[in-house]
Amino acid sequence: MILQVTNPLNSSELIFPTLECIHIAGFALSVGTIAIVDFRLLGLGMNHQSTAEVAADLAPWTLLGLVVMLTSGPLLFSSDPDMYYLNWVFDLKMVLLLLAIIFNYTIRRKTAYSGKSGTRAKVVACVSITLWVGVVFGGIFLAFI
Partner 1 sequence: MSIAQSLESIGFLNEFSESVLVYPIVLSTHLTCIALLGGMILMTNLRLLGLTLKSLTITEVVTSLRLWKRIGGVIMIGTGLLLATSEATKYAPNPFFWTKMIILSLIGVHALVFRPIVYNRTEELDRSSLIPAKVKAAAILSLILWTGMFTMGRLIAYWD
Binding site for partner 1 (CB under 8 A): 13, 17, 20-21, 24-25, 27-36, 39, 44-49, 53-54, 56-58, 61, 65, 132-133, 136-137, 139-141, 143-144
Question: Cα(41)–Cα(26) distance, rounded to whole angstroms?
Answer: 23
CB-wise, 2 or 46, nearer to partner 1? 46
Spell out the long-range contacts of 136-144 with Cβ–Cβ below 8 A and sequence spacing 24 or more: 136/27, 136/31, 138/89, 138/90, 138/92, 138/93, 138/96, 138/97, 139/93, 141/89, 142/84, 142/87, 142/89, 142/90, 142/93
Least distance in angstroms from the C-beta of 9 to partner 1: 15
Least distance in angstroms from the C-beta of 16 to partner 1: 8
Please check whether residue 42 is in contact with residue 98, taking contact to mean a CB–CB distance below 8 angstroms: no
Least distance in angstroms from the C-beta of 54 to partner 1: 7
CB-wise, 75 or 133, nearer to partner 1? 133
CB-wise, 1 or 83, nearer to partner 1? 83
Closest C-alpha to 137, from 27, 26, 17, 19: 27
CB-wise, 53 or 80, nearer to partner 1? 53
Least distance in angstroms from the C-beta of 2 to partner 1: 26
